A and B are shown apart, each in its own frame.
Chain A
Amino acid sequence: SSELTQDPAVSVALGQTVRVTCQGDSLRNFYANWYQQKPGQAPVLVIYGKNNRPSGIPDRFSGSSSGNTASLTITGAQAEDEADYYCNSRGPVFGTGTKVTVL
């Protein structure tokens, strides 16, 4: 199956650490990419490949993978990190999306 499943929502206290997970069979063979989307804006790539950050993405964002699960970790979450996060692998599908709320 090419489906990618994410928890619908997670919350994190300001300055704390939050992990967003993505599960799917394709993740056993391909790395996940992670996209951040704020209301009314286009998605932004935050993590790609094994654990790479595009220029301009803070180093509090990191990625990891194990088996069929990929994770996006935000270490020291900031108010501006409140957004929807989507995973995607080399396959033709996006994850279901996770809304991250910073309390």
Chain B
Amino acid sequence: QVQVVQSGAEVKKPGASVRVSCKASGHIFDTYGFTWVRQAPGQGLEWMGWISFNNGDTNYAPRLQDRVTMTTDTSPGTVYMELRSLRSDDTAVYYCARRVCDAISCYDDHWGQGTLVIVSS
């Protein structure tokens, strides 16, 4: 079984940065990496990007790529997502999900519990 656990809620002021951590444990040998997704209040899912465990390759959403950085840690199965220059419309629940790729598709099969980030002055 796989578990994905994220860090706790954050409250930040506009212009600040936030870093959210995500750790997968259990049967994770087939993990490709992590996808990050966010969901503003009452809105749909927004894809933010993903990071590969193998070589640290990243792929960011164009509208976020100048403010977001995803990194891996030496602690196995741990990744971080940093978002800079926060604005009020960055207020959302941030999810990480374990990404698995087989011969024909990639998918996000285990999701963290979500991390609420509130940006407010």
A44 within 8 A of partner (CB): yes
Chain B proximity of A45: nearest CB distance (Å): 5
- Dominant SS at the B interface? strand
How many A-B residue pairs have C-beta atoms within 8 angstroms? Tell me: 57
Judge whether B105 and A97 touch: CB under 8 Å. no
For the side of the interface on B, what is the size category? Answer: 20 to 34
Q: In whole angstroms, what is the CA distance A58 to B120 when docked?
A: 42
**Taking A86-B44, A88-B47 as contacts, is the C-beta distance between A43 and B111 under 8 angstroms?**
yes
User: Does A67 lie at the interface of the complex (its beta carbon under 8 Å from any beta carbon of B)?
Assistant: no
The closest CB in chain B to the CB of A96 belongs to B44
Interface size on A, residues (CB 8 A): 23
Give 24 pairs: A residue, B residue, CB < 8 Å, sorted on A: A31-B104, A35-B45, A37-B45, A42-B111, A43-B95, A43-B97, A44-B111, A45-B108, A48-B105, A48-B107, A49-B102, A49-B104, A49-B107, A86-B44, A86-B45, A88-B47, A90-B105, A92-B49, A93-B47, A94-B44, A94-B47, A95-B44, A96-B44, A97-B44
